[in-house]
Structure 1
């Protein structure tokens, strides 16, 4: 009989998320899609089991290799946006395919970078008070990964940036230096980003594809009076704007139809007409079928997971496992909240999946790897008592 390493509550949360995923993907995608998804989930569960037994300390050095590997894969996506070969069967958009399996390098890069930064924040803690070391060990690696991901997924860049700021803060970095080197530059970068949104349409900056996408997503129902009225939507193609917000309209329709208790398992109407209903908008389908109550239960699963992360981090006697726990747990929670916020139209469409629920091999596997590391750390913390 197999022994499960690590915190049992986190194990139960992961299993319940997997079960929820199976129910929703079967209901929305059909038998063929379900078989493919269950294969991904079984592999994900295997990764959790293996890495819950794999001493997290090995990731101290392995993280450097993973950052380099993911950077190279992202660079390949930029250099060869469309390619067919032998070893790498296909490169298209955000994806690299190896035979039957497709992989999204940005998923690996996101977690690899965070593990790498946690290592550096602990290993070079004394040197990081000097800006040159902060830039070398923290800021430049972050900028590199964000620069490589930005052409494909701006929302992932924003997620990474928020996580990096968070882990620098909780690492115990001097508060005055934190404001000087992190917060003030962050505010400057944010102001530049929002300035790009208000630059008149048809400018040279509209050739930036992800910026154009975000502008279209902000110019919602009425191009002449978007919710963020300072965004210039005057020259945007209204049909394109309506198309970009078709998903939001249908997601809100699904949520409205679900009501308090939902229409029941498999009784979703919007799964047939909502694009990406089993990935980017699976939370909307969840609420349609299981209602507001079902949506709250899933939200509570992520909050329970994060509560265990907080509890375990307090019990940890060492800086690296404590920081790594909080960093990995925060990625999962932030990503889940971003996904849910999109479904209820609180923020523009991001393309972020719902961790361990949305269909997508890359997301499931890399998130499972993170869960495995978290469980191993929890096992080590239990043994230290």
Structure 2
């Protein structure tokens, strides 16, 4: 982008000066990786299912282009605009998630998608960022406002009620993986907001108990856990193939287009795209992808250490926690570090709902972490300038006295 004058007061200029350009660049790198790996992985998958070689590529080009525009558009919003977007988007996503139970498309025993003319939409993907923003808003209002001048605003009970509704909907689909991510994001926000450690421990215990209940109640959860713990139980074809792909790739990879895992795995373009990267581009590129995710998460958390707005702190913590957790689950299951879970690698795996949801998440993070000029910062700047002017005058006065002596 060409240099912008410091005196340029246009909205674009102010956005460019105040945006976190390092995080924005990392988002661009992830989108670029998404294009490259889709070119590598999707043609073989499309041919195997009898479709055109370019089907997945053309769709993902549109998805990623729209995702990039979404990041840029959402990053221009004010704090109030992010709150409104989170509330409106959350209501729509919640209603659409409920609609999947009635008119959803059933795939592999789960109703998570709504069929549209050109694509299928997974509404629960949009619950993650919107619920994180709404939860942060409710928790912040609890500290700022009182009802009738005495009673604190019931932000925490309302947030717990919203979470209970989401829990029931995701359990009914069922989508235990998405429910786990939303639960951990919610617990992280409560911890950052100052929830006593006793209740944090009770929450962790409840999560462990819920996982045990899911292990007993849902056969697909039990199957995945047992296959992870016992190598001799069940089918390990996908994991074994993915691990062989990493071994074949070595340090520098076999080269673009030379991988074989995309010809063998049915989800090579989606859940196992990280294995395609490992085989064709090697360990170094995989470490580079991990580093990009780490930069986005850690840089956001470090910026929050200088923030004093409780809404921004809680919202951004929830947003980057969900983003980082999704990336970890995908890469961890591909590397057989955790039980397999059908979750996409943000902005890299194929999927329109996932890509746009992640773009919404990162756009909100960029919008909330933009540098904002406040009265205190202006006052501090004037004080610093006055101090420097006084220091210069003292130096000049001392030199003049030395010359006279």
Is TM > 0.5 for Structure 1 vs Structure 2? yes
Match of 2:348 among 346, 350, 357: 357
Quick check: 1:316–1:381 contact (8 Å CA) kept in 2?
A: no
Residue 310 (structure 1) shift: 1.6
Alpha-carbon separation, structure 1, partners of 2:210 and 2:27: 39
**1:285-343 CA distance string (max 9 Å, x none):** 11111111111111000111112202221222322122222221121111111111001
Task: Confirm whether residue 338 of structure 1 aligns to residue 326 of structure 2.
Answer: no
Task: Confirm whether residue 170 of structure 1 aligns to residue 161 of structure 2.
Answer: no
**1:247-278 CA distance string (max 9 Å, x none):** 21211121111111111122210011112111
Alpha-carbon separation, structure 1, partners of 2:206 and 2:302: 35
Alpha-carbon separation, structure 1, partners of 2:153 and 2:301: 32
Residue 152 (structure 1) shift: 3.2
Q: How does 1:372-383 map to 2 (within 5 A)?
A: 372-381=363-372
Alpha-carbon separation, structure 2, partners of 1:347 and 1:113: 26
Residue 72 of structure 2 corresponds to 49
Shift >6 Å, 4+ stretches: none
Alpha-carbon separation, structure 1, partners of 2:57 and 2:277: 16
Alpha-carbon separation, structure 1, partners of 2:153 and 2:336: 41
Residue 224 of structure 2 corresponds to 217
Residue 314 of structure 1 corresponds to 305
**1:205-264 CA distance string (max 9 Å, x none):** 4xxxxx21111112228xxx826xxxxx9xxxx7xx31xx32212111211111111111
Match of 1:125 among 140, 143, 162: 143
Residue 19 of structure 1 corresponds to 32
Residue 186 of structure 1 corresponds to 204
SS of equivalent residue, structure 1 residue 265: coil
Alpha-carbon separation, structure 1, partners of 2:153 and 2:360: 32
**1:62-85 CA distance string (max 9 Å, x none):** 4333222212111111122349xx
SS of equivalent residue, structure 1 residue 260: coil
SS of equivalent residue, structure 2 residue 115: strand
TM-score, with length taken from structure 2: 0.78
TM-score, with length taken from structure 1: 0.82
Task: Confirm whether residue 105 of structure 1 aligns to residue 123 of structure 2.
Answer: yes
Q: How does 1:1-385 map to 2 (within 5 A)?
A: 5=16, 6-30=19-43, 31-82=54-105, 93-125=111-143, 133=154, 136-150=157-171, 151-173=173-195, 175=196, 178-180=197-199, 182-194=200-212, 197=215, 205=217, 211-220=218-227, 226=230, 241-242=234-235, 245-381=236-372, 385=377
- Which of structures 1 and 2 has the bigger CA Rg? 2
Residue 398 of structure 2 corresponds to none
Alpha-carbon separation, structure 2, partners of 1:383 and 1:302: 31
Quick check: 1:44–1:365 contact (8 Å CA) kept in 2?
A: yes
SS of equivalent residue, structure 2 residue 143: coil
Quick check: 1:315–1:381 contact (8 Å CA) kept in 2?
A: no
**1:61-119 CA distance string (max 9 Å, x none):** 44333222212111111122349xxxxxxxx9321133213211010111111111011
Residue 184 (structure 1) shift: 1.1
Q: For structure 1, which runs of at least 5 residues remain unmatched after alignment?
A: 84-91, 200-204, 206-210, 228-232
Residue 172 (structure 1) shift: 2.5
Q: Number of residues paired by the alignment?
A: 344
Q: For structure 2, which runs of at least 5 residues remain unmatched after alignment?
A: 3-11, 44-53, 378-405
1:152–1:383 distance in 2 versus 1, CA, 3 Å: farther
Alpha-carbon separation, structure 1, partners of 2:209 and 2:153: 24
